Amino acid sequence: MRCQGRPLFLLTDFGTEDPWVGVLKGVISTLAPHVFVYDLSHAIPPGDIEAGLWFLTSSWDHLPPNAVVLACVDPGVGSQRPIRAVRCVNRWLVGPDNGLLGLPGRTLQTYHVPVPTNGALNVASTFQARDVMAPVAARLASEGRPRLDPCGDELCCLEWIRMLPAGKVSTIPVVWVDRFGNVILPVRGADLTERSVLRVLPDGPDMRRRTHYAEGSEGELFWLSGSHGFLELAMNQGSAAEFLGIIRGDGIVLQVG
């Protein structure tokens, strides 16, 4: 079967134990049977909007230029928070306007997605990804047109990218810990210099820059700019997260020398 239309990517906090991802794909396949659907991730921690935004930000530039993304990390499902379709150049993003859609540093055009009242037939207030967002994303993927009204309201945006000024002490939240134990922080790797030395306070070791994981000695804690462009604390043949005793959402106190 040839793909007709735009590729559609799914990003959710639904996990894979329940049927909800399969249901989303079923709705999309019914409305847009010739559109290819891909899983970006369904492993976002439940309700973790900031982690979902980091996933989107780090993935966005590597998606096809005509991609449609349905993103749903939506602890306020069924509430008065709006749902939007967002255009960024030729890509589209559909999801709740709760901070998840506010891609930093990009020009975004927003469209209002109407939400039927709770009494509407076949619309559940607890599963708007299925009943509201998926049909819009499927139509965008198959037709390439929103058929929606432009929205003049600004998107909800999270101020989540941090700076690490030299010589200063900063508390930085851990935005993600990957399966290798690399600790990812919301700091642009390019904002540090090759000579920057990071220290975890109060008594952590000095961390120097490495260009790739194997450059570090076995068991050495170091920092690098990850493939996503953000700061990583890593350890060759080990878990930086376990060594530091931190998990996603913790704050880490760093000093830059």
Return residue ranges of the chain for CATH 3.40.50.10790: 8-150
Dist. CA 45–CA 59, nearest whole Å: 17
Residue 196 near residue 254 (C-beta atoms within 8 A): no
Can you tell me the mean pLDDT for 76-92?
A: 95
Give the pLDDT confidence score for residue 87 in this predicted structure: 95
182-210 mean pLDDT: 93
Q: Give the CATH H-level superfamily of domain 169-256.
A: Bacterial fluorinating enzyme like (2.40.30.90)
Q: Report pTM.
A: 0.92
pLDDT in tens, 228-252: 999 999 999 999 999 999 999 999 9
The pLDDT value given to residue 46: 97
Helix (H) / strand (E) containing 112 = strand 109-113
Yes or no: say if 12 and 46 are a contact pair by the CB < 8 Å rule: no
Boundaries of CATH 2.40.30.90 in the chain?
169-256
Task: State the burial class of residue 43 (Cβ atoms within 10 Å of its Cβ: 0-12, 13-18, 19+).
Answer: middle
Q: What is the pLDDT of residue 257?
A: 85
Q: Which helix (H) or strand (E) holds 27?
A: helix 20-31
Q: Given CATH 3.40.50.460, say whether it is the number of domain 8-150.
A: no
pLDDT digits (tens, 9 = 90+) for 123-156: 899 999 999 999 999 999 999 888 899 998 889 9
